[in-house]
Structure 1
Amino acid sequence: MAEHVIDIGGRRYRFDTLGALMAAASPRRSGDELAGVAATSAEERVIAQMALAELPLTAFLEEPLIPYEEDEITRLILDRHDRDAFAPIAALSVGEFRNWLLSERADSRSLKALAPGLTPEMVAAVSKLMRVQDLVLVGRKCEVVTRFRNTIGLPGRLSTRLQPNHPTDDASGIAASILDGLLYASGDAVIGINPATDNTSTVVTLLKMLDEIISRYEIPTQSCVLTHVTTAIEAIERGAPTDLVFQSIAGTEAANRGFGIDLALLREGREAALSLNRGPLGNNVMYFETGQGSALSADAHHGLDQQTLEARAYAVAREFEPLLVNTVVGFIGPEYLFDGKQIIRAGLEDHFCGKLLGVPMGCDVCYTNHAEADQDDMDMLLTLLGAAGCSYIMGIPGSDDIMLNYQTTSFHDALYLRQVLGLRPAPEFEAWLETSGIYRHDRGIAFDRDLPSRFQHVLGAMGLGTVDTGTAR
């Protein structure tokens, strides 16, 4: 692999590989420092960014960061690269590509056409040269629309994943959280449960419960139990009413092996979900989650920085035409994103890179309790992502996940973002909310004291009794 050398101010800086140059140019991350790949000083970081700006985009096609023969994700990236789509920017350097992205020539239509011609390494490289406002501006110009029972990602829309987790998978506790979320206009992206166990019987029970709620009340949304893809396949074989198949993914073959998956298994999961033909509006049946640091934590990073590896995970996602992808940005912990500043930057980078690659990006705006971050940091990231056109965020009672034990966004946070930025739910879900008397865009949440009782027959039909949700105005 070629060395990258730059002489400046009488000093010579040498980066042994393109991967080393990318790592040195990356904004400061605790994970990169832990892995020993980060720049040793702010000066070295700026020098690396200068060298990266001069690098032709074609270098990423000529010098794979992980050898082609060693990694199936590299093979996927290069084998799927669309040279015709790439042609309009093929002569540009990374710095010139940044300027092009910020220009009026890069509109929603041209960015959509360009996406198949971009590799994760190209978008990761250009993101390292961008300020926060650049990431927001370009992210907002990217439109990625997906469909299953409703339409996610339209301009001017913000969806939410209703996340009714329970530490013992208790049906009544889950049902109460679902009802609470629906009454606050949450759940159009997906009603998605992280099960406490990966037991197939439990997963089937939860899927049947979600299906009964959605079908009985004719809610235009989709459900998912976030179990391992092998468990999802087994549940489908048992006849479970499965909308979306979930899997955590990473940007290297070795890291995915640590998750117990490979590309062939993901294809099998997608085909199993497609065989059920449950999506009346579209066939986007996969749901993926990612996060900076996953490959580093598995010692499967090949000497690369965590942000570049995260972008490579989006190539995996793109292959399977998912309905939803989200970065769980602060979940892995301060070993990889130390504080609020690093989490904010990482969330915007992930959204930018995923959208440029044509991936339907959301974000779990979150942090763990031992990170140097707080809810004010999350409010800043939440607002910036709303301005950047993020497809969806999480909705959890009180913003505190009692099963996974981390802090994220609440039902109220989504209402705040919709109100401040004039955003609306997915159109089909919004129509259902208005018909149900729960929500109107011009009035927000405004339901009467009798509304919760209209939902009680759904819970009663499942033997869950009644739930006191209170009222909101």
Structure 2
Amino acid sequence: MSFTIQLGRHSYHFADLKTLLAKASPARSGDYLAGIAAASHEERVAAQWVLADLPLRHFMNELVIPYESDEITRLIVDGHDLAAFAPVAHLTVGGFRDWLLSDTADTVALTALAPGLMPEMVAAVSKLMRMQDLIVVAKKCEVITRFRNTIGLRGHFSTRLQPNHPSDNAAGIAASLIDGLLYASGDAVIGINPASDNTQAVGRLMGLLDEFIQRFEIPTQSCVLTHVSTTLALINQGAPVDLVFQSIAGSEAANSSFGISVAMLSEAHDAAQSLGRGTVGDNVMYFETGQGSALSANAHHGVDQQTIETRAYGLARKFSPLLVNTVVGFIGPEYLYNGKQIIRAGLEDHFCGKLLGLPMGCDICYTNHAEADQDDLDTLLTQFALAGGSFIMGVPGGDDIMLNYQSTSFHDALAIRRLLSLPPAPEFLQWLQKTEIMDGKGNLLSGQRLPPVFAKALTFTETGHGQ
């Protein structure tokens, strides 16, 4: 279906729904690179005007990627809950925005609505929202998940402890682990990006993390961020797998470029759940996404990068993950050029994921060739926490020496927790108090001394085994 609007003396024409969504999207370098962005601010406003008057039901009738050729589209359409959709089925996209900002759309209503929303509906309404709107609505969403602790409770803020090392050196990883835990980082997950995807090397890292968590009785979960096929092989070998990780995208073609499918993710999900390693819940999946990944794989089908990113959340939702993380500035300035675009994208992703019922975190980050700096990260960190974000990264010094990008540090997480009075997950907080790392008010107790719990951590050897 095509759309036309007359504004003043100029007529604007949009060939179909995906063109309309692309033209209505706030400016970002990836859409310009793809040749689908609005040619002017006037054209963008015209597209947003048309989009505001579009009924939400239209998204059920016109698909941005054909049902017959894309398994993500089939997953979205076949899983759409019409009963849950009913309360907003009569609204236009603009009317939906107004409803979301009203007091009627409280936490209970938004939780019930989530299964009734198609990702494209959510992407569309985000394009009509200013930053303040994205924050206000996302704050009303509460998505709670559990494995060995409880993530996403209102009034709490979690972190992934990211102790990466360029050679997967066990002593270096252990040092970063202790450093992060002393700053109360690691309740979302202790997750390593391995330098090698070799099965034996990944299995060694899994064993190291499992021994560390078990030895110090830490109520958290571990993950080695390897390809899902490697994790499946290690599960079959009896490795201590807590969470299954995979990067995902919003089209079948993009996921094929990652070497994955819905069937493969389903197999891994079932295999991880069968291990029964969770103590308070069984959410076992950890997904990462990023605007621009489908474009970089030439698998975007002419869909703008924010809409196709939101479709990835439609895929994630099928597996009730413990964690979903938008790695917002990692792909580079070809997709999000500067701090302004990174900040907007991070808040969009969080808003869209939360509306769809996902536990959204954000790797608030940039690569060193982007037009961004620490001030931009501080701005997004503060806004993300105010919006009710579930978790961020905790990287030693904020500088990942293996992946070579800038992210949030242990100190950043501690600062925002103090500023907004947001403690870690409750089970993790109890452990921090028990081990004399933190008191009940969120103050660190360790000072210059190593808490007694970590005295035996110094016996970790190069192989990662305690003595």
Query: Which residue in the other structure is 1:72 paired with?
Result: 71
* Number of residue pairs matched by the alignment: 466
Deviations 1:332-390 (A, max 9, x none): 00000000000000000000000000010000000000000000000000000000000
SS at match of 1:451: coil
Instruction: Answer yes or no: is the 8 Å Cα contact 2:171–2:462 preserved in 1.
Output: no
SS at match of 1:439: coil
Instruction: Answer yes or no: is the 8 Å Cα contact 1:456–1:465 preserved in 2.
Output: no
Deviations 1:274-332 (A, max 9, x none): 11110011110000000000000000000010000000000111001100001000000
Letter of the 1:71 partner, please give it.
D
Whole-angstrom CA distance in 2 between matches of 1:375 and 1:461:
34
Once structures 1 and 2 are overlaid, which stretch shifts more, 348-357 or 5-14?
5-14
SS at match of 2:159: strand
Aligned 1:250-329 pairs, distance under 5 A: 250-329=249-328
Letter of the 1:421 partner, please give it.
L
Poorly superposed stretches of 4+, deviation over 2 Å: 448-454, 461-467
Instruction: Answer yes or no: is the 8 Å Cα contact 2:174–2:460 preserved in 1.
Output: no
SS at match of 2:128: coil
Query: Which residue in the other structure is 2:4 paired with?
Result: 5
Query: Which residue in the other structure is 1:470 paired with?
Result: none
Query: Which residue in the other structure is 2:348 paired with?
Result: 349
Whole-angstrom CA distance in 1 between matches of 2:374 and 2:147:
32
Once structures 1 and 2 are overlaid, which stretch shifts more, 396-405 or 457-466?
457-466
Verify: 1:21 aligned to 2:32, yes or no: no
Whole-angstrom CA distance in 1 between matches of 2:298 and 2:240:
37
Q: CA deviation at 1:10?
A: 2.5
SS at match of 1:100: helix
Change over 3 Å in CA distance of 1:448–1:26 after alignment to 2: closer
Q: CA deviation at 1:465?
A: 9.7
Q: CA deviation at 1:441?
A: 4.3
Instruction: Answer yes or no: is the 8 Å Cα contact 1:228–1:247 preserved in 2.
Output: yes
Whole-angstrom CA distance in 1 between matches of 2:256 and 2:334:
22
Change over 3 Å in CA distance of 1:301–1:180 after alignment to 2: same
Deviations 1:37-58 (A, max 9, x none): 0000000000000000000000
Whole-angstrom CA distance in 1 between matches of 2:372 and 2:448:
38
Aligned 1:47-58 pairs, distance under 5 A: 47-58=46-57
Deviations 1:402-449 (A, max 9, x none): 000000000000011101111110000000001110012425112154
TM-score (norm 1): 0.97
Query: Which residue in the other structure is 1:236 paired with?
Result: 235
Whole-angstrom CA distance in 2 between matches of 1:466 and 1:182:
19
Verify: 1:334 aligned to 2:330, yes or no: no
SS at match of 2:275: coil
Whole-angstrom CA distance in 2 between matches of 1:170 and 1:214:
18
Whole-angstrom CA distance in 1 between matches of 2:239 and 2:465:
26
Query: Which residue in the other structure is 2:412 paired with?
Result: 413
Letter of the 2:17 partner, please give it.
L
Instruction: Answer yes or no: is the 8 Å Cα contact 2:149–2:280 preserved in 1.
Output: yes
Whole-angstrom CA distance in 1 between matches of 2:418 and 2:447:
20
Change over 3 Å in CA distance of 1:316–1:466 after alignment to 2: closer
Instruction: Answer yes or no: is the 8 Å Cα contact 1:459–1:465 preserved in 2.
Output: no
Whole-angstrom CA distance in 2 between matches of 1:466 and 1:3:
63
Query: Which residue in the other structure is 1:171 paired with?
Result: 170
Whole-angstrom CA distance in 1 between matches of 2:307 and 2:266:
24
Task: State the Cα RMSD in Å.
Answer: 1.4
Q: Report percent identity of matched pairs.
A: 67
Letter of the 2:110 partner, please give it.
L
User: What 5-or-longer segments of structure 1 have no aligned partner?
Assistant: 468-473
